[in-house]
Structure 1
């Protein structure tokens, strides 16, 4: 189901619910309440197995479930009132459906369409042509060829929403501060767009002794579009002199601000650093270096150039 547009699946399912209800109500001649119950049960039997085997997310499941249940429920109420009036008046009601239920039905159809559009835009982003019409022009040109309207997902260390890992994270942070490792270094030169530049780090302990044979990684993240995120493994250099130096050539595909996460692991000891770096570019023969906005400090916050 994830391969289909949300508007299509929700619209087709809603029409199927309408169709099944009127088959039960008009063809089989069941009462309104029984038709509503049968329609809801059948929709659940169809949708739940499909949603489990083609899971997209709880938000997509919730909107389908809500509308597939509301449609037979609303139709059951409308036809039930119609049947009660017929019993009270003792004859068939020749007048069509009252305008008030019709407005309710139209309202829910519009609500389903709008909600589907919002969820589709959040999960897959707007169509390029539609984005140019609806979205404002970018304040800067360091975001790539097009504005991304896609939700990039929760941040990886959003530990407030991961209660099971929070205590472990706090303990690790406390041990890191007590350990007192020092990580320094940066770029050989100012990083340029699509240009390989060495990224170097020097790792020392509290006493200033070099830390060798460690596993050092640097992850460069693009906040606007996580598809550009890149992970690099640094290789220890000058190993014979036990200098604790690590290096890797890095080429980043977009200009502007990148966030970083550096992990130094040796045995069971883990040292984490977060930071930011700016990728420069040439515009009309001039070097342009967009400035990063200041982020909130977390573990250790550094700006590397």
Structure 2
């Protein structure tokens, strides 16, 4: 179990315990205890989340479940203290919000880890094109320069230097790329004047948009002056994002593109 879900479970247990202690030993009413615990929860969790930001979705999910737990404690402890049945109105409202919170938690778990293979085979239809169906959505982040202003400024300087350098890069497959078939990927690099860029380091990654665990790094070997190539085998059909880098000394040239791999 990840740190996120351990924190969620621990928070719920602490809220339940705090409400029970206030009602049982503190002599407080259920409404007072639930309100106090909810306010303390917000006062503690919000600053903690700001300092260690987990992401907007997880923040909202945690806060909703924590507050719903305190609300549920207030309703249940009040009904228990009066020795009366729980009214259907509050029960329906609480049940609705619990359903929303649980659904959000399930969606977050599926997005992070995906569903089990057996459930995937039951839910998703069989494919005839060789494409793999995945329920994981980790997203694609090929560079994180926007997270920090300094790194972003460095990136802008690199882009401007690349534009002024004027290298010409041509790339492509020698044959039609098919899934699980080794295919030669070739890159030709020339200067602005049309001279071959020799003795450079060339390589990059093929990024899978639907599953970053499938990303494929590669390195190219110079076979002729300014001509670099390598045999690449991509395991899944469909769209792949390409990040290609050519480095010679302090000069770095980066190219981004999209390629389509056909199923067999």
Q: Once the two structures are superposed, what CA deviation does each residue of 1:219-250 show, in whole Å capped at 9, x if it has no partner?
A: 11222222111111212234xxxx12222222
Match of 1:116 among 105, 116, 121: 105
2:184 is aligned with 1:198: yes
Is the 2:140–2:208 Cα contact (8 Å) retained in structure 1? no
**Could you say which residue in structure 2 is the equivalent of 1:17?**
15
Q: Using a 3 Å threshold, how does the CA distance of structure 1 residues 21 and 221 change in structure 2: closer, same or farther?
A: same
Task: Compute the displacement of 1:178 (Å).
Answer: 2.8
Is the 1:143–1:255 Cα contact (8 Å) retained in structure 2? yes
**Could you say which residue in structure 1 is the equivalent of 2:207?**
221
**Residue pairs, 1:92-171, within 5 angstroms:** 95-135=84-124, 137=125, 141-144=129-132, 147-157=133-143, 162=147, 164=149, 165-171=151-157
**Residue pairs, 1:289-300, within 5 angstroms:** none
Q: Using a 3 Å threshold, how does the CA distance of structure 1 residues 11 and 133 change in structure 2: closer, same or farther?
A: farther
Bigger Cα displacement from structure 2, 272-281 vs 227-236: 272-281
**Residue pairs, 1:1-305, within 5 angstroms:** 1-2=1-2, 6=5, 14=12, 17-18=15-16, 20-32=18-30, 35-36=33-34, 39-40=37-38, 59-73=57-71, 75-76=73-74, 95-135=84-124, 137=125, 141-144=129-132, 147-157=133-143, 162=147, 164=149, 165-238=151-224, 243-282=225-264
Task: Compute the displacement of 1:149 (Å).
Answer: 1.6
Is the 1:234–1:246 Cα contact (8 Å) retained in structure 2? yes
Task: Compute the displacement of 1:25 (Å).
Answer: 0.9
Bigger CA radius of gyration = 1
Q: Using a 3 Å threshold, how does the CA distance of structure 1 residues 260 and 138 change in structure 2: closer, same or farther?
A: farther
CA distance in structure 1 between the partners assigned to 2:257 and 2:126 by the alignment: 24
Q: Using a 3 Å threshold, how does the CA distance of structure 1 residues 246 and 152 change in structure 2: closer, same or farther?
A: same
Q: Using a 3 Å threshold, how does the CA distance of structure 1 residues 162 and 153 change in structure 2: closer, same or farther?
A: same
| TM, length-normalised to structure 2 | 0.75
Structure 1 residues not aligned, in runs of 5+:
83-91, 283-305
Task: Compute the displacement of 1:279 (Å).
Answer: 3.2
Task: Compute the displacement of 1:70 (Å).
Answer: 3.9
Is the 1:10–1:116 Cα contact (8 Å) retained in structure 2? no
Count of residue pairs brought into register by the alignment: 260
Structure 2 residues not aligned, in runs of 5+:
none
RMSD: 4.0
Task: Compute the displacement of 1:268 (Å).
Answer: 3.0
Task: Compute the displacement of 1:217 (Å).
Answer: 0.9
CA distance in structure 2 between the partners assigned to 1:166 and 1:93 by the alignment: 61
